[in-house]
A and B are shown apart, each in its own frame.
Chain A
Amino acid sequence: MITNLGIEENKEWKCLACDELLKLDKVRIDYMNGSFTVMLPCCPMCGMALVPEEIALGKMLEVEKLLEDK
Protein backbone atom coordinates (compact mmCIF):
# COMPACT_ATOMS: atom_id res chain seq x y z
CA MET A 1 0.00 0.00 0.00
CA ILE A 2 1.31 3.50 -0.84
CA THR A 3 0.36 6.68 1.04
CA ASN A 4 1.32 10.31 0.52
CA LEU A 5 1.88 10.83 4.26
CA GLY A 6 5.38 10.79 5.78
CA ILE A 7 6.65 8.01 8.06
CA GLU A 8 6.09 10.05 11.21
CA GLU A 9 2.52 10.83 10.21
CA ASN A 10 1.79 7.16 9.61
CA LYS A 11 1.91 6.23 13.28
CA GLU A 12 -1.84 6.03 13.66
CA TRP A 13 -2.50 3.89 10.61
CA LYS A 14 -4.26 0.61 11.28
CA CYS A 15 -4.29 -2.62 9.28
CA LEU A 16 -7.91 -3.05 8.19
CA ALA A 17 -7.70 -6.85 8.07
CA CYS A 18 -6.08 -7.30 11.51
CA ASP A 19 -7.27 -4.11 13.30
CA GLU A 20 -3.70 -3.60 14.56
CA LEU A 21 -1.78 -0.31 14.76
CA LEU A 22 1.15 -0.26 12.33
CA LYS A 23 4.59 -0.25 13.90
CA LEU A 24 7.93 0.74 12.34
CA ASP A 25 9.87 -2.38 11.50
CA LYS A 26 12.71 -3.49 9.23
CA VAL A 27 11.38 -4.69 5.87
CA ARG A 28 13.35 -6.36 3.10
CA ILE A 29 12.56 -4.86 -0.28
CA ASP A 30 13.60 -6.80 -3.39
CA TYR A 31 13.76 -4.27 -6.18
CA MET A 32 15.36 -4.43 -9.62
CA ASN A 33 17.73 -7.31 -8.73
CA GLY A 34 18.75 -5.50 -5.54
CA SER A 35 17.77 -6.30 -1.98
CA PHE A 36 17.45 -3.55 0.66
CA THR A 37 16.45 -3.26 4.29
CA VAL A 38 14.14 -0.32 5.01
CA MET A 39 12.25 0.83 8.11
CA LEU A 40 8.53 0.95 7.24
CA PRO A 41 5.25 0.99 9.14
CA CYS A 42 4.07 -2.63 9.22
CA CYS A 43 1.19 -4.62 10.63
CA PRO A 44 2.62 -6.69 13.52
CA MET A 45 0.09 -9.46 12.75
CA CYS A 46 0.10 -10.01 8.98
CA GLY A 47 3.27 -8.10 8.03
CA MET A 48 1.56 -5.76 5.52
CA ALA A 49 3.88 -2.78 4.95
CA LEU A 50 2.90 0.80 4.13
CA VAL A 51 5.19 2.61 1.68
CA PRO A 52 5.09 6.40 2.18
CA GLU A 53 5.17 8.50 -0.98
CA GLU A 54 8.46 10.13 0.08
CA ILE A 55 10.12 6.70 -0.12
CA ALA A 56 8.34 5.53 -3.28
CA LEU A 57 9.04 8.71 -5.24
CA GLY A 58 12.20 9.91 -3.51
CA LYS A 59 14.60 7.25 -2.27
CA MET A 60 13.27 4.46 -4.50
CA LEU A 61 13.53 6.66 -7.57
CA GLU A 62 17.15 7.49 -6.74
CA VAL A 63 17.88 3.80 -6.15
CA GLU A 64 16.18 2.96 -9.44
CA LYS A 65 18.44 5.40 -11.32
CA LEU A 66 21.46 3.89 -9.57
CA LEU A 67 20.51 0.31 -10.45
CA GLU A 68 19.72 1.28 -14.02
CA ASP A 69 23.28 2.62 -14.12
CA LYS A 70 22.13 6.05 -15.35
Chain B
Amino acid sequence: MPTALYQTPALKRLTGPVLRPGGLDLTRESVMKSDLKPGDRVLDVGCGSGAAGEVLKGEFFLDCVGIDVDLGGLGSGTGLSVAEAAAQQLPFKSDSFKAVFCECVLSLTPDMGTTLGEFYRVLAPGGQLILCDVYLRNKTHWQELKQMPLACGFRRGLGEKDIHKYVSGGGFDNICWEDLSLLLSQLAGQAIFEHGSLQHFWADVFGGECGASRRACDAIRASRPGYFRLIARKKNL
Protein backbone atom coordinates (compact mmCIF):
# COMPACT_ATOMS: atom_id res chain seq x y z
CA MET B 1 0.00 0.00 0.00
CA PRO B 2 1.56 3.34 -1.02
CA THR B 3 1.91 6.25 1.40
CA ALA B 4 -1.32 8.16 1.91
CA LEU B 5 -1.49 11.84 0.96
CA TYR B 6 -3.14 12.67 4.31
CA GLN B 7 -0.09 11.29 6.13
CA THR B 8 2.40 13.53 4.36
CA PRO B 9 3.88 16.54 6.21
CA ALA B 10 3.21 18.68 3.10
CA LEU B 11 -0.57 18.23 3.41
CA LYS B 12 -0.53 18.51 7.20
CA ARG B 13 1.24 21.88 6.92
CA LEU B 14 -1.31 23.06 4.38
CA THR B 15 -4.55 22.00 6.06
CA GLY B 16 -3.66 21.71 9.74
CA PRO B 17 -5.10 18.72 11.65
CA VAL B 18 -8.33 18.54 9.60
CA LEU B 19 -6.53 17.34 6.41
CA ARG B 20 -9.27 18.19 3.92
CA PRO B 21 -10.68 21.11 1.93
CA GLY B 22 -13.16 23.31 3.76
CA GLY B 23 -11.82 22.50 7.22
CA LEU B 24 -14.08 22.47 10.24
CA ASP B 25 -16.37 25.18 8.84
CA LEU B 26 -17.58 22.68 6.28
CA THR B 27 -18.38 20.19 9.06
CA ARG B 28 -20.34 22.93 10.89
CA GLU B 29 -22.24 23.80 7.71
CA SER B 30 -23.08 20.13 7.14
CA VAL B 31 -24.63 19.86 10.61
CA MET B 32 -26.74 22.96 9.89
CA LYS B 33 -27.97 21.35 6.67
CA SER B 34 -28.91 18.11 8.44
CA ASP B 35 -31.87 17.59 10.72
CA LEU B 36 -29.72 16.57 13.68
CA LYS B 37 -30.69 17.61 17.20
CA PRO B 38 -28.59 17.80 20.39
CA GLY B 39 -28.14 14.35 21.88
CA ASP B 40 -28.39 12.50 18.56
CA ARG B 41 -25.82 9.73 18.15
CA VAL B 42 -23.54 10.27 15.15
CA LEU B 43 -20.54 8.47 13.71
CA ASP B 44 -17.44 10.29 12.41
CA VAL B 45 -15.71 7.92 9.99
CA GLY B 46 -11.95 8.51 9.73
CA CYS B 47 -11.92 10.77 12.79
CA GLY B 48 -8.11 11.34 12.58
CA SER B 49 -7.10 13.96 15.13
CA GLY B 50 -10.65 14.10 16.51
CA ALA B 51 -11.01 17.80 15.58
CA ALA B 52 -14.32 17.34 13.73
CA GLY B 53 -15.64 15.04 16.46
CA GLU B 54 -14.91 17.73 19.02
CA VAL B 55 -16.90 20.25 17.00
CA LEU B 56 -19.83 17.83 16.69
CA LYS B 57 -19.73 17.14 20.40
CA GLY B 58 -18.72 20.51 21.84
CA GLU B 59 -20.59 22.91 19.54
CA PHE B 60 -23.64 20.89 18.51
CA PHE B 61 -23.96 18.63 21.58
CA LEU B 62 -24.13 15.51 19.45
CA ASP B 63 -23.25 12.15 20.94
CA CYS B 64 -20.31 11.57 18.60
CA VAL B 65 -18.36 8.33 18.18
CA GLY B 66 -15.24 8.34 16.00
CA ILE B 67 -13.55 5.50 14.16
CA ASP B 68 -10.25 5.40 12.35
CA VAL B 69 -7.96 2.66 11.06
CA ASP B 70 -5.16 4.37 12.99
CA LEU B 71 -5.92 6.26 16.18
CA GLY B 72 -2.27 7.34 16.54
CA GLY B 73 -3.12 10.86 15.36
CA LEU B 74 -5.90 11.39 17.91
CA GLY B 75 -5.30 14.56 19.92
CA SER B 76 -4.78 14.04 23.64
CA GLY B 77 -7.68 15.05 25.81
CA THR B 78 -10.31 15.07 23.07
CA GLY B 79 -12.73 13.15 25.26
CA LEU B 80 -14.19 11.62 22.11
CA SER B 81 -15.48 8.04 22.17
CA VAL B 82 -13.40 6.23 19.57
CA ALA B 83 -12.78 2.79 18.15
CA GLU B 84 -9.97 1.56 15.92
CA ALA B 85 -11.87 0.10 13.01
CA ALA B 86 -12.15 0.14 9.24
CA ALA B 87 -15.06 1.91 7.54
CA GLN B 88 -16.00 -1.28 5.67
CA GLN B 89 -16.34 -3.28 8.90
CA LEU B 90 -17.98 -1.14 11.57
CA PRO B 91 -18.10 -2.51 15.12
CA PHE B 92 -21.60 -1.17 15.80
CA LYS B 93 -25.12 -2.53 15.93
CA SER B 94 -27.47 -1.97 13.03
CA ASP B 95 -29.79 1.09 13.09
CA SER B 96 -27.72 2.78 15.83
CA PHE B 97 -26.77 6.24 14.42
CA LYS B 98 -28.79 9.28 13.34
CA ALA B 99 -26.01 10.35 10.97
CA VAL B 100 -22.75 9.11 9.51
CA PHE B 101 -20.14 11.77 8.68
CA CYS B 102 -17.59 10.63 6.13
CA GLU B 103 -15.43 13.56 5.11
CA CYS B 104 -12.74 12.83 2.49
CA VAL B 105 -12.50 9.15 3.52
CA LEU B 106 -14.82 7.09 1.29
CA SER B 107 -12.57 7.39 -1.78
CA LEU B 108 -9.71 5.89 0.28
CA THR B 109 -11.60 2.76 1.35
CA PRO B 110 -10.75 -0.47 -0.50
CA ASP B 111 -14.35 -1.23 -1.50
CA MET B 112 -16.74 1.72 -1.65
CA GLY B 113 -19.80 -0.47 -2.15
CA THR B 114 -19.10 -2.49 1.00
CA THR B 115 -18.33 0.68 2.95
CA LEU B 116 -21.59 2.35 1.90
CA GLY B 117 -23.41 -0.88 2.79
CA GLU B 118 -21.97 -0.63 6.30
CA PHE B 119 -23.01 3.02 6.59
CA TYR B 120 -26.53 2.02 5.56
CA ARG B 121 -26.58 -0.82 8.08
CA VAL B 122 -25.54 1.29 11.11
CA LEU B 123 -27.82 4.22 10.23
CA ALA B 124 -31.25 4.28 11.83
CA PRO B 125 -34.18 4.39 9.37
CA GLY B 126 -34.40 7.99 8.13
CA GLY B 127 -30.80 8.62 9.26
CA GLN B 128 -28.52 10.78 7.11
CA LEU B 129 -25.28 10.07 5.33
CA ILE B 130 -23.11 13.20 5.11
CA LEU B 131 -20.38 12.64 2.59
CA CYS B 132 -17.66 15.01 1.36
CA ASP B 133 -14.95 13.91 -1.07
CA VAL B 134 -13.00 14.62 -4.22
CA TYR B 135 -14.23 13.70 -7.68
CA LEU B 136 -12.99 14.15 -11.23
CA ARG B 137 -14.60 16.36 -13.87
CA ASN B 138 -12.48 14.79 -16.59
CA LYS B 139 -11.96 11.02 -16.28
CA THR B 140 -9.74 10.51 -19.32
CA HIS B 141 -6.53 10.42 -17.22
CA TRP B 142 -7.70 7.73 -14.78
CA GLN B 143 -4.94 5.31 -15.81
CA GLU B 144 -2.16 7.79 -14.94
CA LEU B 145 -3.92 8.53 -11.65
CA LYS B 146 -4.24 4.85 -10.81
CA GLN B 147 -0.49 4.39 -11.27
CA MET B 148 0.41 7.15 -8.79
CA PRO B 149 2.51 5.76 -5.92
CA LEU B 150 0.38 7.73 -3.46
CA ALA B 151 -2.89 6.75 -1.79
CA CYS B 152 -5.38 9.57 -2.31
CA GLY B 153 -8.95 10.07 -3.48
CA PHE B 154 -7.87 11.08 -6.99
CA ARG B 155 -6.61 7.55 -7.68
CA ARG B 156 -10.14 6.21 -7.47
CA GLY B 157 -10.93 8.19 -10.63
CA LEU B 158 -14.62 8.70 -9.87
CA GLY B 159 -16.91 11.17 -11.56
CA GLU B 160 -20.20 12.60 -10.27
CA LYS B 161 -22.30 9.91 -11.98
CA ASP B 162 -20.17 7.11 -10.48
CA ILE B 163 -20.66 8.48 -6.97
CA HIS B 164 -24.43 8.82 -7.45
CA LYS B 165 -24.50 5.23 -8.68
CA TYR B 166 -22.62 3.96 -5.62
CA VAL B 167 -24.82 5.87 -3.16
CA SER B 168 -28.14 4.99 -4.76
CA GLY B 169 -26.91 1.40 -5.23
CA GLY B 170 -26.28 1.31 -1.47
CA GLY B 171 -30.02 1.86 -0.90
CA PHE B 172 -29.93 5.57 -0.03
CA ASP B 173 -32.48 8.04 -1.35
CA ASN B 174 -33.14 11.81 -1.15
CA ILE B 175 -29.66 12.28 -2.56
CA CYS B 176 -28.62 15.93 -2.51
CA TRP B 177 -25.35 16.79 -4.30
CA GLU B 178 -23.53 20.10 -3.92
CA ASP B 179 -20.48 21.08 -5.90
CA LEU B 180 -17.89 22.59 -3.54
CA SER B 181 -14.98 22.60 -5.99
CA LEU B 182 -14.08 26.16 -5.02
CA LEU B 183 -12.89 24.79 -1.66
CA LEU B 184 -10.45 22.45 -3.41
CA SER B 185 -9.26 25.27 -5.69
CA GLN B 186 -8.78 27.45 -2.64
CA LEU B 187 -6.64 24.77 -1.00
CA ALA B 188 -4.62 24.38 -4.20
CA GLY B 189 -4.24 28.16 -4.34
CA GLN B 190 -2.91 28.19 -0.79
CA ALA B 191 -0.43 25.47 -1.84
CA ILE B 192 0.74 27.76 -4.68
CA PHE B 193 1.26 30.67 -2.28
CA GLU B 194 3.20 28.49 0.15
CA HIS B 195 5.24 26.43 -2.31
CA GLY B 196 5.49 28.75 -5.31
CA SER B 197 3.64 26.38 -7.65
CA LEU B 198 1.62 23.16 -7.64
CA GLN B 199 4.67 21.30 -9.08
CA HIS B 200 6.65 22.33 -5.99
CA PHE B 201 3.80 21.27 -3.70
CA TRP B 202 3.65 17.77 -5.27
CA ALA B 203 7.45 17.57 -5.13
CA ASP B 204 7.19 18.24 -1.39
CA VAL B 205 4.52 15.52 -1.08
CA PHE B 206 6.79 13.01 -2.86
CA GLY B 207 9.87 14.04 -0.85
CA GLY B 208 11.58 15.87 -3.74
CA GLU B 209 10.99 16.60 -7.42
CA CYS B 210 10.92 13.40 -9.44
CA GLY B 211 9.12 11.82 -12.38
CA ALA B 212 6.33 10.60 -10.09
CA SER B 213 5.70 14.06 -8.64
CA ARG B 214 5.58 15.65 -12.12
CA ARG B 215 3.29 12.93 -13.49
CA ALA B 216 0.98 13.20 -10.46
CA CYS B 217 0.76 16.98 -10.78
CA ASP B 218 0.05 16.82 -14.52
CA ALA B 219 -2.53 14.00 -14.27
CA ILE B 220 -4.39 15.61 -11.36
CA ARG B 221 -4.47 19.02 -13.05
CA ALA B 222 -5.68 17.52 -16.34
CA SER B 223 -8.42 15.59 -14.50
CA ARG B 224 -9.96 18.88 -13.28
CA PRO B 225 -10.59 17.60 -9.77
CA GLY B 226 -13.57 18.88 -7.86
CA TYR B 227 -15.00 18.54 -4.37
CA PHE B 228 -18.55 17.74 -3.35
CA ARG B 229 -20.89 17.29 -0.43
CA LEU B 230 -23.61 14.72 -0.71
CA ILE B 231 -26.37 14.26 1.84
CA ALA B 232 -28.56 11.19 1.49
CA ARG B 233 -31.04 9.40 3.67
CA LYS B 234 -31.61 5.80 4.68
CA LYS B 235 -35.14 4.87 3.74
CA ASN B 236 -37.75 5.00 6.48
CA LEU B 237 -39.06 1.47 6.56
**A-to-B contact residues, CB < 8 Å:** 33-38, 55, 58-59, 62-63, 66-67, 69
B8 at interface by CB-CB < 8 Å:
no
Output the nearest chain A residue to B181 by Cβ-Cβ distance.
Answer: A69
- Whole-angstrom distance between the Cβ of B223 and the nearest chain A Cβ: 13
| Count of interface residues, chain B, beta-carbon cutoff 8 Å | 13
Contact B189 A67 (CB under 8 A): yes
B131 at the interface (CB under 8 A from A): no
Q: Are A66 and B188 in contact (CB-based, < 8 A)? A: yes
In the complex, chain B residues whose CB is within 8 Å of the CB of A66: 185, 188-189, 192, 198
0/1 string, B170-196, CB within 8 A of A gives 1: 000000000001100110111011001
Cβ 8 A contact of B189, one of A34, A58, A69: A34
How far is A67 from B192 in the complex, measured between Cα atoms in Å? 12
User: How long is the Cα–Cα vector from A55 to B181 in the complex, in angstroms?
Assistant: 24
Q: Which residue of A lies closest to B199 (CB)?
A: A62
SS class, residues of chain B in contact with chain A: helix
**CB interface residues, B 111-162, toward A, < 8 Å:** none
Interface residue? B224 (CB, 8 A): yes
Nearest Cβ on chain B to A30's Cβ, whole angstroms? 11
17 A-B interface contacts by CB (under 8 A): A34-B182, A34-B189, A37-B190, A37-B193, A38-B193, A59-B196, A59-B197, A62-B192, A62-B197, A66-B188, A66-B189, A66-B192, A66-B198, A67-B185, A67-B189, A69-B181, A69-B185
- Min distance, Cβ A22 to any Cβ of chain B, angstroms: 18
Residue of B nearest to A68 (CB): B185
A34 to chain B, nearest CB (A): 4
Whole-angstrom distance between the Cβ of B134 and the nearest chain A Cβ:
15
A residues in contact with B197, CB < 8 Å: 59, 62
- A34 near B185 (CB under 8 angstroms)? yes
B189, A63: Cβ atoms closer than 8 Å: yes
Q: Do residues A34 and B198 form an inter-chain contact, with CB atoms below 8 A?
A: no
Question: Chain B 10-37, CB within 8 Å of chain A: the 1/0 string?
Answer: 0000000000000000000000000000
Contacting pair A33 B182 (CB below 8 A): yes
Provide the residues of chain B in CB contact with A33, threshold 8 Å.
Answer: 182
Nearest Cβ distance between residue B38 and chain A, in whole angstroms?
31
Shortest Cβ distance from B184 into A: residue: A66
* Chain B residues whose C-beta falls within 8 Å of the C-beta of A35 in the assembled complex: 186
- Expressed in whole angstroms, the Cα–Cα distance for A63 and B187 within the complex equals 10
